[in-house]
Chains A and B, each alone.
Chain A
């Protein structure tokens, strides 16, 4: 029998720092599809066209800066098909990956239906893949080592420097992407973003908690972990230290997959259902998991603001951007003003105001001598489908989920594969997935493992030192991981919830090592 230290009751009750959701800027695209624009009659070509127009200038500017100094004076060719033979030139276009293993709707149609469909592939890539660059005029095949090293996916806008070969391919010397867009929020003045000394500086810092994949209703429930999670977030569990950290969590973001796809006896049904092109199995759910989720959400929302995003497994449309859950789904939790249903990729602007600033939008007063000036952070949250889709395009020893997520920032596009292999709304005159601004925090839910990285711009122009924090949030039901992101320093903490003493159990222990390797080899 272990003797236990008694846990002191805090002398003064812990106070949760507040933060507010700031209305988005004009530059921030909305992922909401209002009924007016809810039309599926448009062709997807429009998206590619808009994307190219939106990103062409950025790519062109950066490519010019990059290749201007070259002695050979490369020629800029406006149209892909106008490349001059045996002369160094560069073109801008949309990458199209011609992959034999990519799901093809025609194959799907022509398939013999008496034979069950093969399971969806984990990866599309193979040796016969070819990379094309296309614009309105046409398509040209990109060849060369540089192309394969760049690890491109369909839909990315790039500039390619090279020369047309006699057989009509384009031998690429260098590739230039759009690079990081300017940051959405102004730089924080007076705060050392790279402060390593966590314990001293973070005692008052606000955190945002992120989870993904509660998977309530799955056959092997993580009820105990979820219970602990809720108690942790409400600040009841653990010792004073834990409670202090928990009290600093100013809001919670649930990045998708709150409900489980798996249902009782659904496997049998699943076998019968023909797999459709690129679609994961449809959500099949009973109201019961939803009640459980609502109850948890109610516990949470009564303690801190909660943002919930639909995810791949959730009862929401499969087409991106997934639209917010109807509030009424969540029973009592919906009664809270501070409960937000977000669209699946979602931009959030959160301001943490430690000081008492009376000016609404000019919170960042540099005159403030406070240790904690108000800070506004922009967050981009997705439930992970775009990254998981791009993951299929790329061999993963060189690439990883984190690097893919980082690439999307450099490509300035959250979901480049969207109309190709990722289902997306047929936008006519805009592409909301284009990043006109770089978020401070980029949260990707629904990942198999935890991962994080700071991404800064390479060519230190203006935004030197500014970094975007990428966090891959693993499925809670699989890993029990809650991620805390410091809103001021962008430093990340990870809190695991487990229900056992040994490391042999259901993946709670050191998931990063084993899983990471597994993923890498996959």
Chain B
């Protein structure tokens, strides 16, 4: 007997909505047990069997199949290993089969013992569940049809989430818990729940506190390290005097010293009295300034710390340079003031540009963007730099290689003398020396690099090299390092010319023409079997007649240069220009060379602030 509710629902679903109704969806709809729903379906089907509104049933048959030990690979296995015990092989084989009404009898036949047969679902038309297997290998279609029984699942799920599916016969284990579902424990009665409850609790404390510890540790470490960072730069900035970019040069020595913390403390202690004496020696005007600034300075130091933490350690190491400087004070006097003066004036806007300028002549990878700026800024920055060049030329020549640290030491000490002469410079330099204005310095130091100057008065060139060593374990290690190499005069010329263009060193071919830059493709197969196409460019020498058409614009632009280059090549002994790097310059050569090199240099002069200008 079917209840009216069930009947109404089924009729509506099957014949109006044309839906499949499974026992589950019926049970959810009516709020009855699934087994009742199964019976309801059967009753409905029986009632409507002979009416025109007949529906089609899909049956579920469950039962046992003959145990496995009589067939299958299992027995083979047992024969090989051991076949003493039946219990090993006895696998109870239950089967649930979904079948349409036509195949029902056949399906039943395969069972040795049938547990149940019931209507799984009713549908407005036949679900060809069993048809395909009769019809042949149309598995896909069959699968799709069978999939229709999943259709009502959506509504079942919806009801389940709202209601209590346990009432419908869903067997819910007590040990099923939602993640935060501690409230469920309250309703659960047996003691097992307490056992269950322990399980999630047990691992968690072990995990969570650890994590917490880690994080707190980390935090602590962070704090500590931050504190360290704070402390270090503070100490460093105090004693630091001249923020040159000479980190590279002082590093080697400072490292040794740093190993002992005692030394560091000493370092810290030393500059302090020096500052005092300095301030006392300076004019009265200034006396109040440092005292007032000391607080400000401290505050200011914090800013750069947060902004440029990477630089901080370097700054700390940097402070070693002043110490030796005390001993060799007297190298020079005058020129630095000029430098000093120029610096602060330029500091306001040209700081960054200066940095570019400085780095400009050490290698060619200057961003093209900055090129314009350089030309603009050179007017003031160049002056200062040219001044620096002068110093170096005159006095530092002999020392340039031996102790690269010297120039900045020198500058430091001359700074003391400047105090009396120039008030503006004095203030700013004082600021520098006593490290009150740390903020600008931090910037400056970063950007400005001092390039050692070679014997011939030309700035040395930074050259990237790599050396390959075999370490103790027998691994090859390739190390890249850069060093300064003196630049020959003749090289300076093409360099200047080059800079005007793309700043590329274009090798010169055997025939005296610039080699041509050629893009090439190369295809390689890597270890994984992929092929990579790699583009690379190389220079190819240009044949004479080719060159005419290739470089007409070159010829137009700088005829002189063109003339110069073949000459260069001759002297270099047929080597490309790059090979000339190491060729020492002779004086006789210089004269002719500079002349020859002049025309192309003119525009390049803005970038190239070599000694030529000063010597003119």
Contacts and interface: CB of A to CB of B under 8 A. Distances in A.
Contact of A449 (B73, B88, B116, B190): B73
Interface stretch (A182-190, A437-445, A498-506): A498-506
B384 to A, nearest CB: 50
Interface string A225-243: 1011001101111111111
Contacts of B177: 336-338
A238 B115 contact: yes
Interface string B73-117: 110111011000111101111111111111111110010000111
Interface stretch (B199-207, B269-277, B456-464, B568-576): B199-207
A235 B173 CA distance: 11
Contact of A228 (B39, B46, B90, B96): B96
Contacts of B212: none
Interface string A14-39: 11111111110000000000000000
A245 interface: yes
A302 interface: yes
B558 interface: no
B181 interface: yes
21 contacts: A2-B59, A13-B171, A17-B173, A109-B528, A113-B531, A194-B87, A224-B129, A236-B23, A243-B169, A251-B173, A251-B175, A299-B157, A302-B160, A303-B170, A495-B96, A497-B96, A499-B98, A499-B129, A506-B142, A509-B110, A512-B72
A304 interface: yes
A360 to B, nearest CB: 6
Nearest to B190: A356
Contacts of A302: 160, 165, 170, 172, 176
Given A14-B171, A516-B76, A237 B60 contact: yes
Closest 9 CB pairs of A and B: A239-B116, A501-B103, A512-B72, A516-B73, A235-B171, A224-B146, A501-B107, A337-B177, A16-B173
A513 interface: yes
Nearest to A506: B139
B101 A1 contact: yes
A494 interface: yes
A66 interface: no
B528 A276 contact: yes
A15 B171 contact: yes
Interface residues of A, number: 110
A246 interface: yes
Given A338-B177, A491-B90, A243 B529 contact: no
B472 interface: no
Interface string B520-532: 0000010111110
B379 interface: no
A338 B525 CA distance: 50
Nearest to B116: A239
B198 A9 contact: no
B143 A236 contact: no
A9 B198 CA distance: 35
A225 B59 CA distance: 14
Given A223-B146, A338-B175, A353-B195, A496 B65 contact: yes
B180 to A, nearest CB: 8
A464 interface: no
A57 interface: no
Contacts of A513: 71-73
Contacts of A234: 165, 170-171
A463 interface: no
A71 B42 CA distance: 78
Interface string B529-544: 1110000000000000
B149 interface: yes
A500 B74 contact: no
A194 B86 CA distance: 10
Contacts of A512: 68, 71-74
Contacts of B196: 18, 20
B36 interface: yes
A462 interface: no
B246 interface: no
Contacts of A21: 199
A213 interface: no
Contacts of B27: 236
Give chain B's interface residue range (CB within 8 Å of chain A).
Answer: 35 or more
- Best-buried of B23, B24, B116, B165 by chain A (most CB within 10 Å): B116
Nearest to A456: B82
Interface stretch (A86-94, A166-174, A400-408): A400-408
B153 interface: yes
Contact of A453 (B81, B134, B143, B195): B81
Contact of A243 (B49, B168, B171): B171
Contacts of B100: 501
A474 to B, nearest CB: 11
Given A224-B143, A519-B73, 7 more contacts: A1-B101, A9-B36, A223-B150, A403-B77, A505-B132, A506-B143, A513-B73
B106 A303 contact: no
A322 B139 CA distance: 33
A246 B116 CA distance: 14
B336 to A, nearest CB: 52
A451 B311 CA distance: 66
B608 to A, nearest CB: 47
A509 B107 CA distance: 11
Contact of A353 (B157, B170, B171, B192): B192
B174 interface: yes
B533 to A, nearest CB: 13
Given A18-B192, A500-B103, A516-B73, A224 B172 contact: no
